[in-house]
Structure formats: structure tokens, C-alpha cells
Amino acid sequence: MRILVIGSGGREHALCWAIANSPLVTKLYCAPGNAGIEAEAEPVDLKAEDIEGLVAWARDNAIDFVVPGPEAPLVVGIVDTMEAAGIACWGPSAGAAMLEGSKTFTKEVSDAAGVPTAAWQRFTDASEARAYIDQQGAPIVVKADGLAAGKGVTVAMTKAEAYAAIDDALVSNIFGEAGASVVIEEFMEGEEASFHVLTDGESVLPLATAQDHKRVGDGDTGPNTGGMGCYSPAPVLTPEMEEIVLERIVHPTVAEMKRRGTPFKGVLYAGLMITADGPKLVEYNVRFGDPECQVMLSRLKSDLLPALLACRDGELHHLNLRWHDKAALCVVMATEGYPGSYLKDTQIEGLEAAGDDEAVTVFHAGTRREGETWLSTGGRVLGVTALGDTIADAQTRAYAAVDRLDWPQGFCRRDIGWRAVGQ
């Protein structure tokens, strides 16, 4: 089969790395990809948001199956457009991708399906929103309704912070349309966990558990990022907890989406809070987490491609996935300054040495190459991922690989996996 993966981050590198191993693949492309991805897939010079361009290219190049990585093309309907052009495409339709595209939509679906989640209300008027905050008190959480590049959520510890978040979204319009309405919700206390399942709209196949670290600094401090590292399995999600999450959260959501005539196909990533009253839904994403994808696929023994095809074809009930018993841990290397502004084109040395341990894979998230020289192009640049007998072992191997890199402008957290290693 001729496959096109869409995206340019570490997640897409991991997808290409896994798909390239499938005996079903005759040719693999990635649009736009990055320099590291070129080891697995031929690059295509088209952006992930260029839906028309991608459809035309896929048609001209006889692509059999398209695998979008990020949420942006899904939310604007790449699956619908590809399928309408006769090209099989993995993932949710635009109607189903609303589970990530709109917080209000997710709350409505959750309420209709009886999914446990924080109490909430939606506002478009700033003074009504402030009155609600006065009535509820802090801590409280304010969320821009639409996609805001991961920056639309304020966990306000004081009422003043909550007012400021309201003003940003509803008065100063800093998120544009995405912040034209806000969801204000109850603050939930507990340990966060994420849970990914594949689904064909009806059947559900849980993936290995994984947990990321969102804060930029050691000890989970500093601003939120896309994810500074990750490990799998996640001990907080015990098999009993997984059953509860499937029964109370995932299955009711999948059934409700089907009932609405917008069945969800693809990977559904549930962000959870494990509270004293059991697991509650924080949010849905409609794509693999990044760097969760890197650790999950590192542990996957089975061929990924038939599972993705089965999601699209409604045949997931025939499938079973096998996983390595080993743990995996990914340390994200970012450019100094991230998640704020950062330099581009800083030189990275030692990539070959870092990948020397056969248990280590260095996934690229933002690199380009000039001859033999590797240069950084992004905030998150590398995902140094190791397998190990335990999470502690994977952690030791991943940091040993990180230490073989020579990249003065790069940094990473030194404590990825601390919760799991400490247990």
C-alpha cells in the first residue's frame, strides 16, 4: 500500500517509524515531515493545513491510505474531503473531531452520555461570566471554547486570575474566534492521567497507558507546554481503573457520538483526573498525544497499520494488539526559551551517539539538515525514547542517550517519570 502520513512533529516521526515496519507498505510519504522523518518516509512539501493541496497530491500519487497526525486538519475536515475524493483516510470526520475542536460540544456530549466531568457553564458575556465566578469562587477553571494551540486554559487559583482570563478571551479577544465563548468549570483535584483508545465508531480497543509531563520545569513547575516527556505504562491507571474509565467514560461517549450520526473513528485520547470520586474527564483529543505516541508505539509489538485500517473500515472487533512487557520513557529536548520564544537553526551534534543503544530511538520533532549538519527548527526538537525492564531502567537509558548529545542551546527536564519511579 502507498501511505501518506500528515504532520511534522515527534508524533508523526513515531507514526512513520511504526508504519514503515509494516509489510503492507510499499511506499511511505510524509507531508511536510522533518529531517528525522526522512529516514522512514519521503517528504512531501505540503503543509498539514493545506487540505486541497493534500487531496490533489494524494490523488495524483495514487495514495491508498492517509494518516493525519495533528488535530488541525481533522477539525477542518480532512477525513471528509479525502473520503469524498475516494481516498481512504484514518481519523474522525469534522463532526466527530468537534470533541477536540469545541469544549462546549464535549461538555454537551458528556452530559448527554452521563460521563463524569467537572460541572460547567458556557459564557459569551464577560459580566455574566464574572458573576458566575463570584458565585462559584476560586479555584476555578476558564477555557476558551475553540482550539487555542494549548494556551486557552487557565486554572485560576484566585478570582482575580479567573477575571483576567475572562477579559483575555471575551474582552481583548486574544484567542480570536476560539475564545469568543468560554467554558467555566469546577476545579478538579487529583492525579492526571491520559488514556488512548482506537475506535471504529462502535468497537473500542484500548492502547497501552501513558502519562506525560506538561509543565516545562522539574518538579512539574513553570508554564504548560505540549509535553516535556512521557512514560508508559502509567501506574495510576491500574487495570481496574482502566475498566472504570472504559465503562463510565469511553464507551458512553462512543455510543453517544454514534447516536448523533457522527460516529467517532480513529484514536480518542481522554485526558482524565483521577479524583477521590473516581476518574473524571478533563478533555478529549482526537489524535495521538505527543509525546504519548512515541512511548506507546515503542511498546507496540503488533503491526500498527492493520489497526488503523480497521478503525476506518469498521472492523476493529477482529483486532487484538500485542505489547512489549517492557516500559518506555521519552525525554523531550527543547530549545532554550521554549515554550516562549526560542532561537532557530542551532546546531545539534551527537545524534548518532545518542541512538547507539539499541533500546533507544531518537524521534525528531523539529529538525532540518544541511549536508551532515543537524539544525533545530522548533521549540520541541527531539524525543529521546528508551525501552527498559522498568520505568526506572528506561529512564536511565533515555538520560544516558540525552547526555551523549552535544547541543548547548537544548534543554530537557531531568525528572521525567518521577511519579512512576518513586512508587
- Footprint of ligand AMP on this chain (CB under 6 A)? 118, 141, 143, 153, 155, 185-188, 192, 214, 271, 282-283
106 in contact with ligand GLY (CB under 6 A)? no
Is residue 222 exposed (0-12), middle (13-18) or buried (19+ Cβ within 10 Å)? middle
185 in contact with ligand GLY (CB under 6 A)? no
Q: Which does 50 bind (CB under 5 to 8 A by kind): ligand GLY, ligand AMP, none?
A: none
The region of 130-138, 286-294, 300-308, 385-393 touching ligand GLY under the rule CB under 6 A is 286-294
200 in contact with ligand GLY (CB under 6 A)? no
By Cβ distance, which residue is nearest to ligand GLY?
A: 227
Q: Decide whether 129 or 178 has the Cβ nearer to ligand GLY.
A: 178
Q: Which does 153 bind (CB under 5 to 8 A by kind): ligand AMP, ligand GLY, none?
A: ligand AMP
Q: Which does 415 bind (CB under 5 to 8 A by kind): ligand GLY, ligand AMP, none?
A: none
Cα R_g (the chain), whole angstroms: 21
212 in contact with ligand GLY (CB under 6 A)? yes
Q: Which of 154, 285, 335, 385 binds ligand GLY (CB under 6 A)?
A: 285
Q: Which does 188 bind (CB under 5 to 8 A by kind): ligand AMP, ligand GLY, none?
A: ligand AMP
Starting at the edge strand found earlier in the chain, the sheet holding 153-156 runs 120-123, 182-186, 140-144, 153-156
Task: Tell me how far, at minimum, the Cβ of 226 lies from ligand GLY, in Å.
Answer: 6
Q: Which does 27 bind (CB under 5 to 8 A by kind): ligand AMP, ligand GLY, none?
A: none
Sorted by sequence, the CB contacts under 8 Å of residue 227 that are 6+ apart come out as 212, 213, 214, 289, 290, 291, 292, 332, 380
68 in contact with ligand GLY (CB under 6 A)? no
Cα–Cα distance measured from residue 331 to residue 310, given in angstroms and rounded to the nearest whole number: 31
Cα–Cα distance measured from residue 11 to residue 281, given in angstroms and rounded to the nearest whole number: 23
User: What b/e sequence results for 318-338 when a residue is b if at least 16 CB atoms lie within 10 Å of its CB, and e otherwise?
Assistant: ebebeeeebbbbbbbbbbeeb
Cα–Cα distance measured from residue 11 to residue 297, given in angstroms and rounded to the nearest whole number: 10
Q: Decide whether 192 or 357 has the Cβ nearer to ligand AMP.
A: 192
Q: Which does 289 bind (CB under 5 to 8 A by kind): ligand AMP, ligand GLY, none?
A: ligand GLY
The region of 36-44, 161-169, 282-290, 334-342 touching ligand GLY under the rule CB under 6 A is 282-290
Residue ranges with strand state E in 56-119: 65-68, 88-89
Type of residue at 29: Y
227 in contact with ligand GLY (CB under 6 A)? yes
Sorted by sequence, the CB contacts under 8 Å of residue 91 that are 6+ apart come out as 67, 68, 74, 78, 79, 97, 265, 266, 267, 286, 287
Are the beta carbons of 5 and 11 closer than 8 angstroms?
Answer: no
Number of helices followed by number of strands (H, E) in the chain: 15, 24
Q: Decide whether 263 or 289 has the Cβ nearer to ligand GLY.
A: 289
Task: Tell me how far, at minimum, the Cβ of 279 lies from ligand GLY, in Å.
Answer: 18
Q: Which does 155 bind (CB under 5 to 8 A by kind): ligand AMP, ligand GLY, none?
A: ligand AMP
Place of cell 500498527: 304
Sorted by sequence, the CB contacts under 8 Å of residue 238 that are 6+ apart come out as none
Type of residue at 125: D
383 in contact with ligand GLY (CB under 6 A)? no
339 in contact with ligand GLY (CB under 6 A)? no
Q: Decide whether 81 or 154 has the Cβ nearer to ligand GLY.
A: 154
DSSP secondary structure string for all residues of 275-299: ETTEEEEEEEESS--TTHHHHHHHH
Q: Which helix (H) or strand (E) holds 38?
A: none
Cα dihedral: 185, 255, 3, 54 (round 10): -60
Task: Tell me how far, at minimum, the Cβ of 190 lies from ligand AMP, in Å.
Answer: 8
Q: Which does 278 bind (CB under 5 to 8 A by kind): ligand AMP, ligand GLY, none?
A: none
Q: Which of 100, 200, 290, 415 binds ligand GLY (CB under 6 A)?
A: 290
289 in contact with ligand GLY (CB under 6 A)? yes
Q: Which of 292, 374, 381, 395 binds ligand GLY (CB under 6 A)?
A: 292
Sorted by sequence, the CB contacts under 8 Å of residue 303 that are 6+ apart come out as 21, 22, 23, 24
Q: Decide whether 136 or 203 has the Cβ nearer to ligand AMP.
A: 136
Q: Which does 292 bind (CB under 5 to 8 A by kind): ligand GLY, ligand AMP, none?
A: ligand GLY
Instruction: Give the count of alpha carbons within 13 A of 252, CB side only.
Output: 18
Which residues in this chain contact ligand GLY in the complex, by CB under 6 A? 212, 226-227, 285, 289-290, 292
